[in-house]
Chain A
Amino acid sequence: TQLLEQSPQFLSIQEGENLTVYCNSSSVFSSLQWYRQEPGEGPVLLVTVVTGGEVKKLKRLTFQFGDARKDSSLHITAAQPGDTGLYLCASGGGNNRKLIWGLGTSLAVNP
Protein backbone atom coordinates (compact mmCIF):
# COMPACT_ATOMS: atom_id res chain seq x y z
CA THR A 1 0.00 0.00 0.00
CA GLN A 2 1.41 3.34 -1.00
CA LEU A 3 1.71 5.74 1.90
CA LEU A 4 2.36 9.46 1.69
CA GLU A 5 4.35 11.12 4.45
CA GLN A 6 4.16 14.85 4.85
CA SER A 7 6.49 17.01 6.88
CA PRO A 8 6.46 19.04 8.94
CA GLN A 9 3.07 18.28 10.45
CA PHE A 10 2.73 21.81 11.86
CA LEU A 11 4.40 25.05 10.90
CA SER A 12 3.93 28.51 12.39
CA ILE A 13 5.81 31.38 10.80
CA GLN A 14 5.75 35.16 10.53
CA GLU A 15 4.46 37.02 7.52
CA GLY A 16 7.20 37.48 4.92
CA GLU A 17 9.12 34.31 5.72
CA ASN A 18 9.78 31.52 3.24
CA LEU A 19 8.90 27.91 3.88
CA THR A 20 9.06 24.47 2.31
CA VAL A 21 6.86 21.46 3.01
CA TYR A 22 7.49 17.94 1.79
CA CYS A 23 5.60 14.91 0.59
CA ASN A 24 7.41 11.58 0.38
CA SER A 25 6.65 7.99 -0.50
CA SER A 26 8.54 4.71 -0.70
CA SER A 27 6.74 4.03 -3.98
CA VAL A 28 6.77 5.82 -7.30
CA PHE A 29 3.93 8.27 -7.79
CA SER A 30 1.88 7.99 -10.95
CA SER A 31 0.99 11.62 -10.46
CA LEU A 32 0.78 13.88 -7.45
CA GLN A 33 -1.58 16.64 -6.52
CA TRP A 34 -1.25 19.38 -3.93
CA TYR A 35 -4.37 20.71 -2.26
CA ARG A 36 -5.02 23.49 0.23
CA GLN A 37 -7.85 23.18 2.71
CA GLU A 38 -9.28 25.86 4.98
CA PRO A 39 -11.18 24.95 8.16
CA GLY A 40 -14.72 23.82 7.42
CA GLU A 41 -14.17 23.66 3.67
CA GLY A 42 -13.24 21.00 1.14
CA PRO A 43 -9.72 20.69 -0.32
CA VAL A 44 -8.97 22.97 -3.27
CA LEU A 45 -6.67 21.66 -5.97
CA LEU A 46 -3.53 23.76 -6.40
CA VAL A 47 -1.48 21.77 -8.90
CA THR A 48 -0.87 18.37 -10.45
CA VAL A 49 2.65 17.17 -11.26
CA VAL A 50 3.24 14.21 -13.51
CA THR A 51 6.78 14.25 -14.91
CA GLY A 52 9.89 13.55 -12.82
CA GLY A 53 11.86 16.75 -12.21
CA GLU A 54 8.88 18.91 -13.09
CA VAL A 55 8.65 22.38 -11.54
CA LYS A 56 5.42 24.37 -11.54
CA LYS A 57 4.86 27.86 -10.22
CA LEU A 58 1.64 29.38 -8.98
CA LYS A 59 2.33 33.00 -7.98
CA ARG A 60 4.43 32.69 -4.79
CA LEU A 61 4.10 28.90 -4.66
CA THR A 62 6.68 26.64 -6.33
CA PHE A 63 5.97 22.93 -6.66
CA GLN A 64 8.70 20.44 -7.48
CA PHE A 65 8.42 16.77 -8.37
CA GLY A 66 11.46 14.61 -7.62
CA ASP A 67 13.36 13.05 -10.50
CA ALA A 68 12.42 9.56 -9.30
CA ARG A 69 8.78 10.60 -8.74
CA LYS A 70 8.91 9.49 -5.09
CA ASP A 71 8.90 12.91 -3.48
CA SER A 72 7.56 16.40 -3.95
CA SER A 73 7.97 19.76 -2.29
CA LEU A 74 5.99 22.95 -2.02
CA HIS A 75 7.90 26.18 -1.43
CA ILE A 76 6.12 29.39 -0.49
CA THR A 77 7.98 32.68 -0.86
CA ALA A 78 7.12 35.64 1.36
CA ALA A 79 4.24 33.92 3.11
CA GLN A 80 1.11 35.91 3.81
CA PRO A 81 -1.66 35.34 6.39
CA GLY A 82 -3.93 34.29 3.52
CA ASP A 83 -1.65 31.28 2.96
CA THR A 84 -2.79 29.83 6.29
CA GLY A 85 -4.38 26.41 5.89
CA LEU A 86 -3.83 22.68 5.65
CA TYR A 87 -1.64 21.65 2.72
CA LEU A 88 -2.32 18.12 1.54
CA CYS A 89 -0.61 15.98 -1.03
CA ALA A 90 -2.42 13.15 -2.77
CA SER A 91 -1.57 10.56 -5.35
CA GLY A 92 -3.65 8.37 -7.59
CA GLY A 93 -6.88 9.16 -9.35
CA GLY A 94 -7.02 8.36 -13.05
CA ASN A 95 -7.14 4.64 -13.59
CA ASN A 96 -6.38 4.14 -9.90
CA ARG A 97 -9.60 5.99 -9.18
CA LYS A 98 -9.22 6.82 -5.50
CA LEU A 99 -6.65 9.24 -4.14
CA ILE A 100 -4.18 8.29 -1.42
CA TRP A 101 -3.65 11.19 0.95
CA GLY A 102 -0.95 12.43 3.27
CA LEU A 103 -1.94 13.74 6.71
CA GLY A 104 -1.12 17.28 5.68
CA THR A 105 0.96 20.20 6.90
CA SER A 106 -0.96 22.71 8.97
CA LEU A 107 0.46 26.15 8.21
CA ALA A 108 -0.18 29.28 10.25
CA VAL A 109 1.19 32.57 8.96
CA ASN A 110 1.10 35.22 11.65
CA PRO A 111 0.80 38.91 10.71
Chain B
Amino acid sequence: DTGVSQDPRHKITKRGQNVTFRCDPISEHNRLYWYRQTLGQGPEFLTYFQNEAQLEKSRLLSDRFSAERPKGSFSTLEIQRTEQGDSAMYLCASSQSGGNEQFFGPGTRLTVL
Protein backbone atom coordinates (compact mmCIF):
# COMPACT_ATOMS: atom_id res chain seq x y z
CA ASP B 1 0.00 0.00 0.00
CA THR B 2 1.35 3.41 -0.91
CA GLY B 3 -0.41 5.39 1.80
CA VAL B 4 -3.08 8.05 1.49
CA SER B 5 -3.29 9.69 -1.91
CA GLN B 6 -5.05 12.88 -2.95
CA ASP B 7 -5.90 14.28 -6.34
CA PRO B 8 -5.28 16.85 -7.63
CA ARG B 9 -2.24 18.15 -5.79
CA HIS B 10 -2.92 21.69 -6.93
CA LYS B 11 -6.06 23.43 -8.15
CA ILE B 12 -6.41 27.01 -9.33
CA THR B 13 -9.94 28.20 -9.97
CA LYS B 14 -11.89 31.39 -10.42
CA ARG B 15 -14.27 32.64 -7.77
CA GLY B 16 -17.72 31.16 -8.20
CA GLN B 17 -16.58 27.92 -9.79
CA ASN B 18 -17.14 24.48 -8.27
CA VAL B 19 -14.23 22.19 -7.42
CA THR B 20 -14.01 18.56 -6.36
CA PHE B 21 -11.13 16.81 -4.64
CA ARG B 22 -10.56 13.10 -4.22
CA CYS B 23 -8.93 11.14 -1.40
CA ASP B 24 -7.95 7.46 -1.46
CA PRO B 25 -7.23 6.23 2.08
CA ILE B 26 -5.01 3.37 3.19
CA SER B 27 -6.98 0.32 2.10
CA GLU B 28 -7.59 -1.31 5.48
CA HIS B 29 -8.54 1.96 7.22
CA ASN B 30 -12.25 2.44 7.74
CA ARG B 31 -12.06 6.01 9.05
CA LEU B 32 -11.43 8.97 6.77
CA TYR B 33 -11.02 12.62 7.74
CA TRP B 34 -10.92 15.92 5.90
CA TYR B 35 -9.01 18.89 7.28
CA ARG B 36 -8.27 22.38 6.01
CA GLN B 37 -5.00 24.18 6.71
CA THR B 38 -4.06 27.79 6.05
CA LEU B 39 -0.57 29.21 6.21
CA GLY B 40 0.85 29.37 9.70
CA GLN B 41 -1.97 27.34 11.22
CA GLY B 42 -2.44 23.75 12.24
CA PRO B 43 -5.00 21.67 10.39
CA GLU B 44 -8.68 22.40 11.12
CA PHE B 45 -11.12 19.50 11.24
CA LEU B 46 -13.86 19.57 8.60
CA THR B 47 -15.58 16.19 8.64
CA TYR B 48 -15.06 12.49 9.20
CA PHE B 49 -16.44 9.18 7.92
CA GLN B 50 -16.57 5.74 9.37
CA ASN B 51 -16.99 3.48 6.37
CA GLU B 52 -19.62 5.25 4.23
CA ALA B 53 -21.30 7.08 7.11
CA GLN B 54 -20.48 10.75 7.68
CA LEU B 55 -20.44 10.90 11.48
CA GLU B 56 -19.32 14.43 12.27
CA LYS B 57 -19.19 17.78 10.51
CA SER B 58 -17.50 20.93 11.72
CA ARG B 59 -19.32 24.24 11.77
CA LEU B 60 -16.56 25.30 9.37
CA LEU B 61 -18.24 23.13 6.75
CA SER B 62 -20.71 25.59 5.26
CA ASP B 63 -23.56 24.66 2.95
CA ARG B 64 -21.22 25.13 0.01
CA PHE B 65 -19.12 22.19 1.16
CA SER B 66 -20.18 18.59 0.76
CA ALA B 67 -18.28 15.37 1.29
CA GLU B 68 -19.13 11.84 0.30
CA ARG B 69 -17.70 8.38 0.73
CA PRO B 70 -20.19 6.32 -1.25
CA LYS B 71 -18.63 2.88 -0.97
CA GLY B 72 -16.63 3.33 2.17
CA SER B 73 -13.39 3.55 0.22
CA PHE B 74 -12.40 6.78 -1.55
CA SER B 75 -13.96 10.10 -0.61
CA THR B 76 -14.70 13.32 -2.45
CA LEU B 77 -14.91 16.86 -1.11
CA GLU B 78 -16.82 19.34 -3.25
CA ILE B 79 -16.83 23.10 -2.80
CA GLN B 80 -19.55 24.97 -4.69
CA ARG B 81 -19.37 28.64 -5.65
CA THR B 82 -15.83 28.98 -4.40
CA GLU B 83 -14.75 32.13 -2.57
CA GLN B 84 -11.28 33.57 -2.13
CA GLY B 85 -11.45 32.61 1.54
CA ASP B 86 -11.61 28.97 0.51
CA SER B 87 -7.98 29.14 -0.61
CA ALA B 88 -6.13 26.68 1.60
CA MET B 89 -4.51 23.26 1.74
CA TYR B 90 -7.14 20.51 1.99
CA LEU B 91 -5.80 17.47 3.79
CA CYS B 92 -7.21 13.97 3.96
CA ALA B 93 -6.26 11.42 6.60
CA SER B 94 -7.26 7.87 7.41
CA SER B 95 -7.07 5.63 10.44
CA GLN B 96 -8.20 2.29 11.72
CA SER B 97 -11.31 2.27 13.87
CA GLY B 98 -10.37 3.13 17.45
CA GLY B 99 -6.79 3.95 16.50
CA ASN B 100 -4.99 6.98 17.89
CA GLU B 101 -2.94 7.56 14.78
CA GLN B 102 -4.08 9.27 11.60
CA PHE B 103 -2.07 9.10 8.40
CA PHE B 104 -2.19 12.02 6.04
CA GLY B 105 -2.12 12.41 2.30
CA PRO B 106 -0.01 15.07 0.57
CA GLY B 107 -2.92 17.50 0.41
CA THR B 108 -4.61 19.49 -2.34
CA ARG B 109 -3.59 23.13 -2.55
CA LEU B 110 -6.58 25.23 -3.66
CA THR B 111 -6.12 28.77 -4.93
CA VAL B 112 -9.25 30.79 -5.67
CA LEU B 113 -8.60 33.85 -7.81
- Over the window 79-111 of chain A, the binary record of Cβ atoms lying under 8 Å from chain B Cβ atoms (1 yes, 0 no) is 000000000101001110111011110000000
User: CA–CA, A14 to B78, complex, Å?
Assistant: 43
Interface window among A44-52, A56-64, A69-77: A44-52
Interface size on B, residues (CB 8 A): 28
Binding site for A on B (CB under 8 A): 4, 6, 31, 33, 40-45, 48, 55-56, 89, 91, 93, 95, 98-107, 109
The residues of B that contact A31 with a CB separation of less than 8 Å are 100
User: CA–CA, A44 to B6, complex, Å?
Assistant: 15
Binding site for B on A (CB under 8 A): 30-31, 33, 35, 40-45, 48, 50, 88, 90, 93-95, 97-99, 101-104
Select which of A35, A42, A88 is within 8 A of B107 by beta carbon: A42
Specify the main secondary structure of chain A where it touches its partner.
Answer: loop
Give the residue name and chain of the B residue nearest to A31 (CB): B100
User: CA–CA, A88 to B106, complex, Å?
Assistant: 16
Select which of A41, A90, A95, A97 is within 8 A of B42 by beta carbon: A90
